[in-house]
Amino acid sequence: MEQIVAPLALPHAVDIDEAASILQKADRILVIGCSGTGKSTLAQAIASLRGLTYVSMDRDIFWLPGWKPRPRAEAISRIEQAVAGPRWIMDGNSPGTLPLRLPRAEIVIWLRPPRRVALRGVFSRWLRYRGRSRPEMAEGCPERLDWKFLHYIWTFERNEVPQFQEMLVQHGPHVPVLTLKSHRDGAELLARLQASV
């Protein structure tokens, strides 16, 4: 049975209509959510529509070839450089870095579909890129799937979501947050954004 965490009241939750209106003009956007939910796909589509720089936390911030973590001080410096830029969309999690990212963001898109969607996403991604690096990942980091990663996804709502909620309340009360519960919601958002640009 899937465990859903009761949401804290996000200070500035918005619906798809409001978000599409904000996204027409927003220059700095965060996309967060469990692995396998389509963060990178959505972020790249919005980047293309709006002419924004696409920043992948996995590729550009956290990982070095061979699945070696980038030293934390260097990763923090790279986040600071990225968010200082004038126009970007950044996908990735790391709730502990939200205090660096939220003050510059104009909107957060939070992908929160059911766990089965995330699991299906990571399995299909693994089949597609098995043995090689996907475009949103650092070179030399071939796609992998192990029990630790699957456990992270299985427990994401219980273990990770409360951290995101806390960070959004503490460090982003002024930032609109759109929660997308399905791929259909994401497609609807993109359709509205395409119609307006």
**What distance in Å separates the CA atoms of residue 25 and residue 129, rounded to the nearest whole number?**
34
Residue 191 · residue 46 · CB < 8 Å: no
Averaged pLDDT score across all residues of the chain: 92
135 by DSSP, 3-state: which?
A: coil
pLDDT for residue 11: 73
Burial 15-24, CB ≥16 within 10 A → b, else e? ebeebbeebe
Structure tokens that stand for 120 in this block: 């299906």
Structure tokens that stand for 122 in this block: 């990571």
Instruction: Identify the bridge partners of residue 55 per DSSP, sorted by sequence position.
Output: 90
Name the stretches of the chain with pLDDT < 70: 1-9, 197
pLDDT for residue 54: 98
Residue 156 · residue 5 · CB < 8 Å: no
pLDDT for residue 192: 93
Name, in order, each residue with C-beta under 8 angstroms of 23's C-beta and a sequence gap of 6 or more.
Answer: 29, 46, 50, 107, 189, 193
pLDDT for residue 76: 96
pLDDT for residue 48: 96
